[in-house]
Amino acid sequence: MEELKLYAMTCGWITMPYGFFMAGETGSLAIPIPCYLIEHPKGTVLFDTGLELPLQSDDENVVKKALGGFAELTTVDFVPGEDVAKRLEAFGVDPLKINYVINSHLHFDHCGGNACVPNARIVIQKREWEAAKDEENIEKGIYVPRHYDLGHERLEIDGEHDLFGDGSVVLIPSYGHTPGHQSLKVKVDGKDVVITADACYLKASLERMTLPDAMVVNDAQAMLNNFDLFKKLKAKGAFILYGHDPKQSKSLTDGSIRQITADTLASLS
């Protein structure tokens, strides 16, 4: 069977308080918004879709309205050409022909581009979808339905899920940041690559076993359990791609779509 191909892209940057990502840190941190493309013999997959298009506006009021409750805490660096659809088009991939979107969770910087891939089937943990439909969570601004409740066909899963049935693209439950957060394990050149998303923001998060600020943690113990899992997978030879690590991101891509190969992985170790 033809081996799958994994690609990384960066779809803008945002700056937020450093403590959001590592409790106890002060100042601010600029973080990348990564998305991943997987080409499998049985279909094309996006893991996360990044920010919504209104955040590219030059009108400060439009951006503030789009950010909602995060407006006072967030600076956005997201220009035309950096959204997931334009990244795909520049690479020669039609966004309308993406088969699956795996959303790690349904926060604004992970599903804001779902509208750009209207024909994809969304693969989401059932408990995440339920949390994102909860009126209280919506009123608090934790979830914003215009990002994800767009009429896509949806595959709701419960726990680990092997997308193609061959062990090459496996969704891993990593609850904690949100009630139904999920990470992804992909087989690249015979090696396991684990894309953590917000289950582990930074390389330093795992090294120090330091959680984000409690404000962005749904279940602290569950997040620590995720750290233990990622450490065990790493000890077995897996390569860990962290959710928003600036240094690692720049080693994967200059922003545009770049393939992750065995050589790429070797440079991360």
CATH code linked to domain 5-261? 3.60.15.10
- Evaluate if residue 22 carries a pLDDT over 80: yes
Asked whether 5 and 38 are in contact (CB, 8 A), the reply is: yes
Coil, helix or strand at residue 125: strand
| pLDDT for position 1 | 45
- Evaluate if residue 267 carries a pLDDT over 90: no
| pLDDT for position 152 | 98
Reading phi first (left if > 0) and then psi (alpha if -120 to 50, else beta), residue 12 is in left
Query: Which sequence spans correspond to the domains of the chain?
Result: 5-261
Quick one: pLDDT band at residue 269, thresholds 50, 70, 90? low
Angle at 250 between CA 243 and CA 267, to 5 degrees: 95
> Looking at the DSSP assignment, which residues form a beta bridge with residue 154?
122
Rounded to whole angstroms, how far apart are CA atoms 266 and 251? 11
- The set of residues, in sequence order, having a beta carbon less than 8 Å from that of 236 and lying 6+ positions away, is 192
CA distances from 207 to 57, 91, 210, 212, 231 (A): 37, 35, 8, 13, 9
Reading phi first (left if > 0) and then psi (alpha if -120 to 50, else beta), residue 137 is in alpha
Asked whether 11 and 52 are in contact (CB, 8 A), the reply is: no
Asked whether 192 and 208 are in contact (CB, 8 A), the reply is: no
Got the DSSP string for 34-98?
A: EEEEEEETTEEEEE-----GGGG-S-HHHHHHHHGGGTTT-EEE--TT-SHHHHHHHHT--GGG-
| pLDDT for position 253 | 97
pLDDT digit string (tens) for 41-74?
999 999 999 999 999 999 999 999 999 989 999 9
CA distances from 267 to 114, 187, 239, 244, 251 (A): 31, 17, 11, 18, 8
| pLDDT for position 268 | 82
Quick one: pLDDT band at residue 26, thresholds 50, 70, 90? very high
Counted residue by residue, the chain has a size of 269
Q: Which amino acid is at 6?
A: L
Percent of the chain with pLDDT over 70: 99
| pLDDT for position 3 | 85
> Looking at the DSSP assignment, which residues form a beta bridge with residue 121?
100
Average pLDDT, the chain: 96
- Evaluate if residue 189 carries a pLDDT over 50: yes
Q: Which sign, positive or negative, has the C-alpha torsion 254, 256, 262, 268? A: positive
| 243 CA to centre of own chain | 6
